[in-house]
Amino acid sequence: MRIGIPRGLLYYEYFPLWKCFFEELSAEVIVSGPTTKRILDRGVQTAVDEACLPVKVFYGHAAELGDCVDFLFVPRVVSVEPRAYTCPKFLGLPDMLRASMVLPRLLSPTVNMRRNRRQLLAAVRQVAAELGAGPVKTWRAWRRAVAAYRRFKEFLRQGYGFEDAVSLALGQNRHLARQAPPARDLTVAVLGHPYLVYDQLVGMNLIQRLRSEGVRVLTADSFTPAEIEAKVRNLPKALFWTYEKQVLGAALACLDRNVDGIIQYVSFGCGPDSMIGELIQRWVRRKRDIPFTLLTVDEHTGQAGILTRVEAFLDMVARKKARSA
């Protein structure tokens, strides 16, 4: 049995979990290749104009997998923690896809932990049942998958790149060297949705580029959940978007760590980011004078323009640091 996973959106959040789970259930996992111009174009053609860039990219990947798999895995992730939601577009993702293109059978469990964490297990059982797995096998697969996911998050926290963290977590590559320590004493946080910053095409390899310039790079994944929670606890109102909470909490946590500059990387037209981006800018400005820049990308954004802005930002951060030293 071949299960297709489009390389987009929550792939960047949960891939090791999904892969490990399906393989333990003896299914074959097929992932679409890294985003290319062609995949993006395909997505742009099939999605409505107003959809945000990551959704278009996801469409492209789903189309790409099209007929070479038995199932396409597109979960409906409504909520991953009590009293919170994900983005409305994740709530409607399978329906949007189904209305826009011909698809293989969808494997589309609903994950909604808003009122009850245990609902997740029901979703897991539902998927396993559809693949014809018994309860014992399912349970074992799930335990292993969760362990892989924890390892993955831990590797990300330690500063491994996305691809390395995936292969380390899945035990495919035991001897990956840690990143070489940065050459310069400069730390920059790149904050944004993992499906933007970790994607090779739309993320413009920003993280690797900065690292190769000798900069120490933090992402929203560099902070422990406890650190994030501590930062968002005192918000005027609890933020009901889980993934944005991660970004906002990370931005606030940057104020405590030795971070010299913050880059927020967002998609044009992203709903949640338009709100928290505003809060981050205002709060960062009020609390501490850290250089901050907002990079907005869509399918027309040229790489050169963004990279020039990043260069300029980096110069500014370095100069400011030198001055204050």
Interacting residues toward other proteins by CB under 8 A = 47-48, 50-51, 76, 78, 83-89, 91-92, 95-96, 98-100, 110, 235-241, 268-275, 277-279, 282, 296
Q: How far is the CB of 240 from other proteins (least distance, A)?
A: 3
Neighbour-count burial of 31, counting CB atoms closer than 10 A to its CB (0-12 exposed, 13-18 middle, 19+ buried): middle
Q: How far is the CB of 305 from other proteins (least distance, A)?
A: 18
193 makes contact, choosing from ligand SF4, other proteins, none, with CB < 5 to 8 Å by partner type, with: ligand SF4
Q: Annotate 185-235 with DSSP letters as a single string.
A: S-EEEEEE-HHHHS-TTTTTTHHHHHHHTT-EEEEGGGS-HHHHHHHHTTS
259 makes contact, choosing from ligand SF4, other proteins, none, with CB < 5 to 8 Å by partner type, with: none
| CB nearer to ligand SF4: pick between 193 and 216 | 193
| CB nearer to other proteins: pick between 32 and 86 | 86
91 makes contact, choosing from ligand SF4, other proteins, none, with CB < 5 to 8 Å by partner type, with: other proteins
Q: How far is the CB of 40 from other proteins (least distance, A)?
A: 17
Q: Annotate 53-121 with DSSP letters as a single string.
A: HHHHHHHHHHHHHGGG-SEEE--EEEESSTT-B--HHHHSHHHHHHHHS--SEEE--EEE-SS-TTHHH
Q: How far is the CB of 194 from ligand SF4 (least distance, A)?
A: 10
Cα 190 from Cα 218, distance rounded (Å): 6
Cα 271 from Cα 259, distance rounded (Å): 27
Q: How far is the CB of 270 from ligand SF4 (least distance, A)?
A: 3
Instruction: Return residues touching ligand SF4 (CB under 6 A).
Output: 52, 54-55, 87, 89, 193, 267, 270-273
Reported as half-sphere exposure (CB side, CA atoms, 13 A), residue 114 has a value of 12
| CB nearer to ligand SF4: pick between 247 and 314 | 247
Instruction: State both tokens at 263.
Output: 């880059």
| CB nearer to other proteins: pick between 102 and 325 | 102
240 makes contact, choosing from other proteins, ligand SF4, none, with CB < 5 to 8 Å by partner type, with: other proteins
Amino acid at 37: K
Amino acid at 316: M
| CB nearer to other proteins: pick between 194 and 272 | 272
Q: How far is the CB of 196 from ligand SF4 (least distance, A)?
A: 7
| CB nearer to ligand SF4: pick between 61 and 216 | 61
Q: How far is the CB of 127 from ligand SF4 (least distance, A)?
A: 22
Q: In a 3-state reduction of DSSP, which class is residue 166? A: helix
54 makes contact, choosing from other proteins, ligand SF4, none, with CB < 5 to 8 Å by partner type, with: ligand SF4
Cα 196 from Cα 55, distance rounded (Å): 11
Looking only at the bridges linking them, the beta strands covering 292-297 and 28-31 are unpaired
| CB nearer to other proteins: pick between 20 and 55 | 55
Amino acid at 207: I
